[in-house]
Amino acid sequence: MIEAVALSKRYGSVKAVDGLSFTVPSGQVTGFLGPNGAGKSTTMRMILGLDAPSAGSVTVNGRPYTGYRRPLREVGALLDAKAVAGGRSSRNHLRWLALSNGIPTSRVDDVLRQVGLASAANKLVGGFSLGMAQRLGIAAALLGDPPVLMFDEPVNGLDPEGIAWIRSLLKALAAEGRTVLLSSHLMSEMALTADRLVIIGRGTLIAETTVAALIAEGTGNYIRVRSEAPDELKSLLLARGAKVETEADGALRVTGTTLDVVGGIARDRGLGLLELAAHQMSLEERYMELTADATEYATDTAPLAALTGK
């Protein structure tokens, strides 16, 4: 479990992270989302003790990261895949990592095999593509068999096979009871991989929620209905308190009611329906809506609190 409490980081007058509190529970994949510059990477660096918080604290399984003497056994992290010395082979890179934390060096070939780099074990890291570097970074994170894993944009540069692989890997790791934190710009990726979401904007928390709840509370969900008698259906729906708009092709866009109600009215009145469908806002659209709010109300925290449902 990762727990941030009122975590803040100031660079001069710029607040990169401002009073951020959230929890990453074990046994689930938690997605960490936010637009560029929202403070995701800064937060992850603070979790790893690379940057010192200006205020607040963050702990990993109850202890600050810097309190661990052999942290690779506690937290595996991939931050910047290309931040490795290019003159070393991938095996030698993993070897020194293993040695530094008292991990048997026999683990090196295990993780290389696991990430599909066994054939590139003796190749110099400098010649790696971004996708291969990501795999090496993931191998390093898995080295200590840690209960907590953190990945910053792990699908970057991976081919479709690689993306499918990391998706199942993350899910398998969480299913084993590990804590998995995953940052990404790709909301569609989150929809497939993450159970929970921590969404931040401008260094503050916008929402801490589940994927399902996030979609459900979106304002862009509506029912599209096309009828042989649209005007009659529209007045009936309005009488029931629903909101109805007419679209360009004559279809009705209905909110404030359910599919069952619309279908029931049409049946009772004998109105022929040509189309009846629920349009659910995509996670991507919902995410844009949320982060747009963060920008718009950046100086006013009340609407943000309302969105988090607290």
Query: Of 34, 147, 162, 201, which lies in the binding site for another protein, with binding defined by CB under 8 A?
Result: 147
Among 57, 66, 219, 235, binds another protein (CB under 8 A): 66
Selected range binding another protein among 18-26, 70-78, 185-193, 243-251, rule: CB under 8 A: 70-78
Across the beta sheet with 222-227, the strand order is 243-246, 252-255, 222-227, 273-279
**Residue 61 CB contacts under 8 Å (≥ 6 apart), including other chains:** 1, 74, 147, 148, 179
CB 203 within 8 A of CB 17: yes
Quote the radius of gyration of the chain (alpha carbons, Å). 24
Is position 140 an interface residue for another protein (rule: CB under 8 A)? Answer: yes
Q: Are 266 and 227 in contact (CB under 8 A)?
A: yes
- Among 20, 24, 103, 199, contact with another protein (rule: CB under 8 A): 103
Interacting residue with another protein among 37, 96, 219, 295 (CB under 8 A) = 96
Site string for another protein, 1-40 (x = CB under 8 A): ----------------------------------------
Stretch 173-192 residues interacting with another protein (CB under 8 A): 173, 176-178
Angstrom distance (rounded) from CA 26 to CA 146: 12
For 160-185, the DSSP string reads HHHHHHHHHHHHHHHHTT-EEEEE-S
| Inter-residue contact 141 to 77 (CB < 8 Å) | yes
Residue choice 65, 128, 165, 222 for contact with another protein (CB under 8 A): 65
Q: In Å, what is the CA distance from 96 to each residue of 89, 134, 143, 267? A: 11, 18, 11, 71
Q: How far is the CB of 46 from another protein (least distance, A)?
A: 9
Residue number with CB closer to another protein (92 or 255): 92
| Residue of the chain from 145, 245, 247, 275 that contacts another protein (CB under 8 A) | 145
Among 31, 34, 39, 144, binds another protein (CB under 8 A): 144
**Using CA atoms, how far apart are residues 291 and 200, in angstroms rounded to an integer?**
8
Closest distance of CB 99 from another protein, Å = 4
User: Helices 259-269 & 230-239, crossing angle to 10 degrees?
Assistant: 120
Task: For 274-295, give the DSSP string.
Answer: EEEEEEPPPHHHHHHHHHHHHH
Least distance from another protein to the Cβ atom of residue 283, Å:
27
Give the interface segment with another protein, choosing from 17-25, 85-93, 205-213, 225-233 (CB under 8 A): 85-93
Single out the segment in contact with another protein by CB under 8 A; choices: 61-69, 184-192, 194-202, 274-282: 61-69
Interface with another protein includes 62 (CB under 8 A)?
no
Residue 102 makes contact with another protein by CB under 8 A: yes
User: In which element (H, E) is residue 10 found?
Assistant: strand 2-11
Phi, psi for 218 (deg, rounded to 5)? -65, 150
| Site residues for another protein per CB under 8 A | 45, 48-52, 65-73, 77, 79-80, 82-89, 92, 95-97, 99-104, 106-107, 110-111, 114, 140, 142, 144-145, 147, 169, 172-173, 176-178
